[in-house]
Amino acid sequence: MPWRALGRPPGRLLRLGSRGEPVAALQRRLRELGYDPGADDGIYGHQTAEAVRDLQRDVGLRVDGIAGPRVMAVLDDPDLLALRRTHTVATGDTLGDAARALGVPPQVLRRACGLSRQGQIAPGRRVVVWERWLAAEIKPGAAQAAALRTVSRRAGLVSVVSVVARGGPGDDPAAGETAAAAAELGLPVWVTLHTRREPALVPGDDHPGRLQQTLHRARERERLAAQLQAWCGAGPISGVHVDFSGLRFGDGPRAVALVRRLGAEARAAGRRLIVSVPMRDLDGLWGRVADDLDWEVLARHADHVVLTPPVLVDGPAPRPPSPAELRRRLRLMIRRLPPWRCLLAVPVGALVVPAAWGQADPVAAADQGERGLGLSVVSYPRAISLGRASRARPEWEGAAGRPVIRCAYEGRESAVWLENRSSLAEKLDLAEDLRLGGIYVSAVGEEDGRLWGLVEERWKVHKPVPAPG
């Protein structure tokens, strides 16, 4: 019987001394998840409290042994059990034996257990490895074929393919063909209905674009809903991803209302709804007052939430946000969202920022696009070629936590920001430390190929079952 149907009183805290059927239901659910709460006797004793503490440690909650709302949210989540792998080390087992039992490379298990290179696991220890999602986004246009080849080669490291579409199936036949090709690789497929000015731009572009039109015009909302319904009925589609990464303050209630509607329609078709939202700065009085998104409702109606960092942070020399800045924002956001259902957006293409960007008004510059001081995205190999042509080498920029090449691009002096192994490692650290569900990689096919090796060394990638055709 599902946990939701067990009669747990909403809002009630279960703790040492609690008794009754809600406690027995809690004990049964903990046992399903691999914990040992003792007998299913409906008595919240010390063994049950210790099982709750184990769960809290595993998912990054405050460890107090009390089954409060956040613990209940963990137990309510239908996807949690599929992400968790546990093993109790038997006498005589080596780390390699435990790794084989869990289906992970030894280095992944060593990292999960916090062991040194020579360390071994003590007999009787319960080890936990969390699988993580890696969603690979394929952009439209000429890059589709190259991205699909990359996904084909790296299919074992990809959880799901997200194909960006320029509307419904009839508007973008190429997106349908790409989705079908990804499904033939045995991978689940999401279709991304973007709201950026151009789907080639990186997530997090905060120019008003089409999103504000969609939120404020009934005709545009109906069009988006019709596109979602059409994709839900178009072959082996597991879910629809709606990109709200350009959401602005003031439009939160409209966005939540739209997510509620789209989520209901996706579930009615047996599909998932995934939404992207900007990583807002929710710190301080103004951040709390100006936060107009109902995160609880958003999490209830969206199966996954892609947290999208800002493209650039303000300053005299605009740069991508540093890992420390990302960590602070992520910590604030996962207080409001279940972290195991959040994916961190990681654009792996090279971001080209003209040197004059800092002296221009950002909105005016964005409006100019390729005609003026607009941002551009190029592939990693293309960025390296630009540096060679200008006789410039990548330099590590500590403030941004990533390398940059200062060179000429289309006749303008520019800073080309790269994503390499070291900078991606920082983001994987964030996902692990904050117990995020994984990462959403945009611009697949344009990355440094060595990034895939890093993922293989670090993570057990979750492999969901594709939706039936």
pLDDT score, position 236: 85
Average pLDDT on 127-144 reads: 88
Beta strands in 220-294 (DSSP E): 239-243, 272-278
Average pLDDT on 157-180 reads: 92
Sign of dihedral through CA atoms 181, 182, 184, 185? Answer: positive
Q: Which fold has domain 3-76?
A: Muramoyl-pentapeptide Carboxypeptidase; domain 1 (1.10.101)
CB-based burial of residue 277 (10 Å sphere; 0-12 exposed, 13-18 middle, 19+ buried)?
buried
Class of domain 133-348+425-458: alpha beta
Average pLDDT on 183-206 reads: 73
Average pLDDT on 34-48 reads: 90
CA distance 163 to 181: 11
pLDDT score, position 466: 59
**Using CA atoms in the order 399, 402, 403, 406, what is the torsion angle rounded to 10 degrees?**
-50
pLDDT confidence band for 155 (50 / 70 / 90): very high
Average pLDDT on 427-444 reads: 92
pLDDT score, position 70: 82
pLDDT confidence band for 3 (50 / 70 / 90): very low
| Listed residue (57, 13, 16, 71) closest to 38, CA to CA | 16
What CATH number belongs to 82-129?
Answer: 3.10.350.10
CA distance 69 to 263: 23
pLDDT score, position 277: 92
Structure confidence by residue, pLDDT tens digits, 285-314: 555 555 788 888 898 899 999 999 988 887
- Counting residues of the chain whose pLDDT is more than 70, the rounded percentage is 88
Structure confidence by residue, pLDDT tens digits, 56-110: 887 778 899 999 888 888 888 877 777 888 888 888 888 899 999 988 888 888 8
pLDDT score, position 339: 87
Average pLDDT on 259-269 reads: 95
DSSP-assigned letter for residue 46? H
Q: For strand 272-278 and strand 239-243, is the pairing parallel, antiparallel, or unpaired?
A: parallel
Question: 284 versus 24: which is more confidently predicted?
Answer: 24
Average per-residue pLDDT in the chain?
85
For residue 363, pLDDT beyond 90: no
pLDDT score, position 69: 85
For residue 315, pLDDT beyond 80: no
Return all residues near 349 (Cβ < 8 A) that are at least 6 apart: 202, 377, 378, 379, 380, 419, 442, 443, 446, 447
Question: 331 versus 33: which is more confidently predicted?
Answer: 331
Q: Which fold has domain 350-418?
A: Chitinase A; domain 3 (3.10.50)
Per the confidence metrics, is the pTM higher than 0.85?
yes
Cα diameter, the chain: 74
| Listed residue (30, 121, 40) closest to 84, CA to CA | 30
Average pLDDT on 449-463 reads: 93
pLDDT score, position 337: 85
CB-based burial of residue 39 (10 Å sphere; 0-12 exposed, 13-18 middle, 19+ buried)?
exposed
Range from 54-58, 161-165, 404-408, 438-442 carrying the lowest mean pLDDT: 54-58
Residue 343: Cβ within 10 Å count = 25
Range from 328-342, 359-373, 389-403 carrying the lowest mean pLDDT: 359-373
pLDDT score, position 364: 44
What residues form DSSP beta bridges with 220? none
- The domain segmentation of the chain, as residue ranges, is 3-76, 82-129, 133-348+425-458, 350-418
Tokens standing for residue 29: 């659910």
pLDDT confidence band for 241 (50 / 70 / 90): very high
